[in-house]
Amino acid sequence: MFDVIIAGCGPVGAMLAAELRLHDVRVLVLEKDTEPVSFVRIVGLHMRSLESLAMRGLLDRVRERGRQRPAAGFFAAISKPVPEGLDSAYAYLLGISQPVLVDVLEQHAVAVGAQVRRGCTVTGLVQDDDGVTVELAGGERLRAGYLVGCDGARSTVRKLLGVGFPGEPSRNDTLMGEMEVDAPAEVIAAAVAAHRRLDVRPFGGGRYRVVVPVEGVGDRGRPPTIDDFRRALSALVGTDFGVRSPRWLSRFGDATRLVDRYRVGRVLLAGDAAHIHPPIGGQGLNLGVQDAFNLGWKLAGQVRGWAPAGLLDTYQVERHPVAARVLDDTRAQTALWSEGAGAAALRRLVSELMDFNEVNRHLIERVAGLGIRYDFGAGPDLVGRRLGDVDGVYGLLHRGRGAVLDRTGRLGVGGWADRVDYLGDVTSALGAPAVLMRPDGYVAWAGADQHGLDGALSRWFGA
């Protein structure tokens, strides 16, 4: 029997598995694909995700396989300079191939002890007071204390749970693929400049990544063909650019949905299994990775027996509002990308507002996940917010434990030393005499007295 079974070995599932293994939780990851995907889809890691990777000592490993670009142009692809005063030591976007990212995270999860089984499709689940029985295609049954669905937008786990997935259905498709293109570079550049939703860019080796919008919704059960791309390009710009010899082709919609619940008993949802939205702003992957960071240590505490009552429920309480805000952000950005005089006027207005540095910075940090504040109740403004890499504290979080940063030198972690580390030689300004950081890098308490710290330690790390 496993402590936790994770359905899906994408970035979210692999990251969650590694987070659980930092606390010696027995983890099995089930992936329906027999081999890692071969197509190259470039994703962008925003500042908060880069900070999270730094907290686990993974950033250098990921960064050397990606490409950095300035922290600008995230919001509705409105071109503005990098704003001054970005609140992060990792103030850039890291573009990386999604299969490469998955490979790095999966290798990390396996290295710390997670088991990964490919070619395993979840077809059923039954939960009781003691655990969850997971049925696979072929009839095999596996048993675990908890099941987490990280199995994407069409999540089988979510459907088996019967959880509501309200929102807006897809109205239009977008085709994306990698192929050869015969058209001259200047013809391609002119067409891309005239159509915001069209993207045709060199990918190396004489190949191009092509992204083209399509009116209406196609048959999701049928993969797109190169003829579909030719028709879509011709309808949009009057030429198909001579596209040919595709390496891979895919389609995605613009549905926007958020589950009613992230948890039903011993079954939880994370990543695209819990929320989907158009890819504008590049927030989907980052939102899912942050789900894993929020959930991992809480579920581990539940499995290991030290979690205080209600800790696992804070996963839903904290992450559902964050996802709702991201969905609203993507709705707003989609409206700014729409055709028509009204949308064009709105885009010009927002562009003018972003000439103010504070507005530009606010929108960039909002997309990058830096502005989140969880509601931990009354307390200083610092409480509930992320803490930057003060005095190299991220290096102290590699083991996925909590941390007390103490400028007073008078406090301690006492009986929580098996779950929380102590750093007493803090030299940088914290905004408080001392703080308690959760394993996901958010400040759970700020103050100067041991009694207050002990109460916060009990609240987040148990007896």
Tell me the residue ranges of DSSP E strands in 396-437.
402-406, 420-423, 434-437
* pLDDT-based confidence at residue 220 (cuts at 50, 70, 90): low
79: helix, coil or strand? coil
Domain boundary among the residues 219, 253, 287 is at 253
Half-sphere exposure at residue 131, Cβ-oriented, CA atoms within 13 angstroms:
13
Give the chain's domain count: 3
H/E stretch holding 207 reads strand 207-215
Q: Can you give the residue range of the structural domain that contains 161?
A: 2-166+257-333
Q: Is residue 448 part of a domain?
A: yes
Q: Percentage of residues in the chain with pLDDT exceeding 70?
A: 99
9 and 75 together in one domain: yes
Q: Tell me: pLDDT of 413 over 90.
A: yes
Domain boundary among 298, 315, 333: 333
What pLDDT, on a 0 to 100 scale, did the predictor assign at position 35? 81
Whether 31 and 155 share a structural domain: yes
Say whether both 109 and 53 belong to one domain.
yes
Instruction: List the beta bridge partners of residue 389.
Output: none
Q: What is the DSSP letter of 105?
A: H
Per-residue pLDDT for 439 more than 80? yes
Structure tokens at 113: 């002890």
38 has a pLDDT exceeding 70 = no
Residue 51 is inside which H or E element, if any? helix 47-55
- What is the rounded (10 degree) CA torsion for 198, 324, 29, 22? 120
Q: What pLDDT, on a 0 to 100 scale, did the predictor assign at position 218?
A: 72
Q: Please give the average per-residue pLDDT across 108-123, as a whole number.
A: 97
C-beta separation of 174 from 197 below 8 A? yes
Residue 206 backbone zone (phi > 0: left; psi -120 to 50: alpha; other: beta): left
How far apart are the C-alpha atoms of 71 and 83, rounded to whole Å?
Answer: 8
Please give the backbone phi and psi of residue 423, each rounded to the nearest 5 degrees, phi first.
-125, 110
Please tell me the predicted confidence (pLDDT) of residue 206: 79
Q: Domain of 248: which CATH number?
A: 3.30.70.2450
